[in-house]
Chain A
Amino acid sequence: NAGVTQTPKFQVLKTGQSMTLQCAQDMNHEYMSWYRQDPGMGLRLIHYSVGAGITDQGEVPNGYNVSRSTTEDFPLRLLSAAPSQTSVYFCASSTETAGTDTQYFGPGTRLTVL
């Protein structure tokens, strides 16, 4: 099993550009989520999904869009990148919930917005 995969591993954008961070899991997990990790802030939840076709906002959703058309994939879209979105982004998945089941994290995408 590949677990949770994320692409790209590194990305540099200019302010105003758009891009999609890809996330896929092969464990047939219903729950998927996106976090950003900034120094001194821990991880903050951006968006999450409890199943195909169902998404909801987390703690810091502004500037990001998500969709969940399949169980396996949960892409994160930045519509118009801003320097404040410079961060490390992690995708995670678990069987049904984040708080009781084991969440498996991907290796992360390091994004720099100039």
Chain B
Amino acid sequence: TQLLEQSPQFLSIQEGENLTVYCNSSSVFSSLQWYRQEPGEGPVLLVTVVTGGEVKKLKRLTFQFGDARKDSSLHITAAQPGDTGLYLCAGAPQNTGFQKLVFGTGTRLLVSP
């Protein structure tokens, strides 16, 4: 059973466009993380959010944790080719502490010049 569903699965856009990636679940999470993965490499952590309603910004990336801690979104403003990659959300289910992470299915983003 996949606890975290991401949408869309694939996104192909032009440089300068805005986009939002969603990470949804029916379960409550103690924390939610977003990673970016390049081909042939391991995922790299972008952000961790732990409080319901929390918003964090990392340059052109804005991350939000849902009020009920069941969902999250990643918004990219004015996307650039360097943003291309696989974006993964990952959550620590509330009933398992912070030791086990469940990953989403991933969103593959392609930004063309």
Interface residues of A (CB under 8 A from B): 4, 31, 33, 35, 40-45, 48, 50, 56, 58-59, 90, 92, 97-100, 102-103, 105-108
Contacts and interface: CB of A to CB of B under 8 A. Distances in A.
Kindly name the residue among A56, A92, A105 whose own CB sees the greatest number of chain B CB atoms within 10 A: A105
Contacts, number: 75
B43 to A, nearest CB: 5
B104 A99 contact: no
Given A42-B88, A42-B104, A42-B106, A98 B99 contact: yes
Interface residues of B, number: 29
Given A40-B105, A41-B105, A44-B103, A100 B50 contact: yes
B42 A108 contact: yes
Interface of B: 2, 4, 6, 9, 30-31, 33, 40-45, 48, 50, 88, 90-92, 97-106
A97 B24 CA distance: 23
- Taking chain B's interface residues, is the majority helix, strand, or loop, or is none over half, making it mixed? loop
A108 B42 CA distance: 6
B17 to A, nearest CB: 25
